[in-house]
Amino acid sequence: MDELDVRIFRALLTDNISAPFSPHLKTSLRGVARKLNVDDVTVRNRFKRFQDQGFLSGWRLLPNPTLFGYRMMNVLVDTPPKSPKSLMMAKLELIRGTVVLLDYQGDSLGIVLFYESDQSLSQTIELISKITSAKKIIQFRAILPIGQASRFTDADWAIIRNMEHDAWKSHVKVAKELGYTARTVKNRLERLERQNALVIPPALDIASIDRMIGLVLYYSYTSREMKEAVDRTLLSHFDGNYLWARLTDPEGAYLILLAPTMASVKRYQEWTRQQPGVASARAEIIVESINLWEKTSELFQ
C-alpha cells in the first residue's frame, strides 16, 4: 500500500471529523479520482485491490447512535505483562456497547464502545479494568455527527437491516428483497442521509495490509492551547501515511498509520515525542482487529 492508496482511502471516508465513519452512503470513485487528480481506472483498480486483499471488505450501515442517546469512546488498556489476552478479549466482546477490539503487539489492547451516560461509561470502564487487571486505562472521546431524525418508520428499519452488512448494496436489489420500489428505497435513504440518521463505518482489517505495519499513534498535549498546532504539525508530517485521525478529544488524539518497517514505527514515535506541545506519545502495532458492529442492533432495539 503506497501513498496514493492512502490518499484514495482517506478520500473515500469523506468526513475528517467523524472518520472512519462516513456520513454518505456511497462515495463516487469517479469523484475521488477527480479530487486527487488521477484517472478513474487507477482509482477503481486500487479500490478493487483493497477488497481483494481483505483490507476493506465493505461498509456497514447503522442508525446514528446519537439518536438513541449514545456517545462513543475509544479506550487504550495497558494489561499486565504476558497476560492471556485472547481470554480477555473473549470476555470484552460480551460487554454491552463494545463494537471494535484491537489486539496490539505487547501488553495493550484497544476498545471502541458506545455508552449512554457518564455513569454507564464509568461502570463499563470498571468492568474492563477487572477483566484485564488493567495497569492503566486512557480514554479518548469521539464525536459522531448529530442525528436529526425524529423517528424511524418500519420501512426505514427494514431497509437499514437489509443493508447493515453492505451499505453499498444497490437500491434495486434492496427493493427486490423487501418488496418495495427502487424509488421508495432511494427516497428513504436520501432522507435519512440528509438528517444524519445513518453512520457508515468501513469493515476494515488493517493488520492484513501486505508488506506494511498498521499502527495507532497515540499522543497527548502539554496544554489545550497547543492542540491545534500539534495536530496540524502531525497531520502534515504523516500526510502520506495516515489513514484517518481522531482529533476530537481536547486532551489527546491518535492517528491510524501505516509504516514500512519496525524501525519506522520507532522513528515515528520518537519524532512525535520531540514535537513542541506533545506531552507523551506511543505507537501501538495492530496484531488483530475484531469488528462487532452487528452488536449495535442490541442497543437500538
What span, in angstroms and rounded, lies between the C-alpha atoms of 104 and 1?
A: 21
Q: Is residue 92 part of a domain?
A: no
Q: Is residue 223 part of a domain?
A: no
pLDDT at 99: 92
All 3 cell numbers of residue 15?
468526513
Mean pLDDT of the chain: 91
The confidence band for 206, taking pLDDT boundaries of 50, 70 and 90, is confident
Q: Is residue 162 part of a domain?
A: yes
The mean pLDDT value for 180-193 works out to: 94
Given a cut of 80, whether residue 16 has pLDDT beyond it is no
Q: Is residue 37 part of a domain?
A: no
231-279 per-position pLDDT tens digit: 999 999 999 999 999 998 999 999 999 999 999 999 999 999 999 999 9
Work out the burial of residue 51: count CB atoms within 10 Å of its CB; fewer than 13 is exposed, 13-18 middle, 19 or more buried: exposed
What span, in angstroms and rounded, lies between the C-alpha atoms of 200 and 293?
A: 10
pLDDT at 214: 94
What span, in angstroms and rounded, lies between the C-alpha atoms of 104 and 243?
A: 17
Of all residues in the chain, what percent carry a pLDDT higher than 90? 65
Given a cut of 90, whether residue 218 has pLDDT beyond it is yes
CA of residue 246 relative to chain centroid, distance: 9
Total count of domains within the chain: 1
Q: Alpha helix locations (H) across 74-181?
A: 85-92, 118-132, 154-163, 171-178
Query: 201 to each of 18, 144, 167, 181, 212, how far by Cα in Å?
Result: 10, 11, 9, 26, 22
Residue 167: which CATH number? Answer: 1.10.10
Place of cell 482517506: 10
Q: Is residue 122 part of a domain?
A: no
What span, in angstroms and rounded, lies between the C-alpha atoms of 218 and 122?
A: 22
Given a cut of 70, whether residue 18 has pLDDT beyond it is no
DSSP 3-state assignment of 59?
A: strand
CB 140 within 8 A of CB 72: no
Q: Is residue 182 part of a domain?
A: yes
What span, in angstroms and rounded, lies between the C-alpha atoms of 173 and 180?
A: 10
117-146 per-position pLDDT tens digit: 999 999 999 999 999 999 999 999 888 888
The pTM (predicted TM-score) of the whole model is 0.89
Between residues 60 and 226, the one the model is more confident about: 226
pLDDT at 161: 92
Least confident of 152-161, 172-181, 198-207: 198-207
3-state helix vs strand vs coil in the chain, percent to 5: 40, 25, 30
| Crossing angle between the packed helical segments 171-178 and 182-194, to the nearest 10 degrees | 110
Given a cut of 70, whether residue 301 has pLDDT beyond it is no
Between residues 298 and 282, the one the model is more confident about: 282
Give the CB-side neighbour count of residue 160, counting CA atoms within 13 A: 21
Given a cut of 80, whether residue 147 has pLDDT beyond it is yes
| Crossing angle between the packed helical segments 40-52 and 3-13, to the nearest 10 degrees | 90
Q: Is residue 167 part of a domain?
A: yes
Beta-carbon count within 10 A of 151 CB? 7
pLDDT at 14: 65
The mean pLDDT value for 163-182 works out to: 93
The mean pLDDT value for 193-217 works out to: 88
The mean pLDDT value for 271-299 works out to: 91
The whole domain housing 159 covers: 150-194
Q: Is residue 165 part of a domain?
A: yes
Of all residues in the chain, what percent carry a pLDDT higher than 70? 98
pLDDT at 145: 81
Given a cut of 70, whether residue 23 has pLDDT beyond it is no
Given a cut of 90, whether residue 216 has pLDDT beyond it is yes
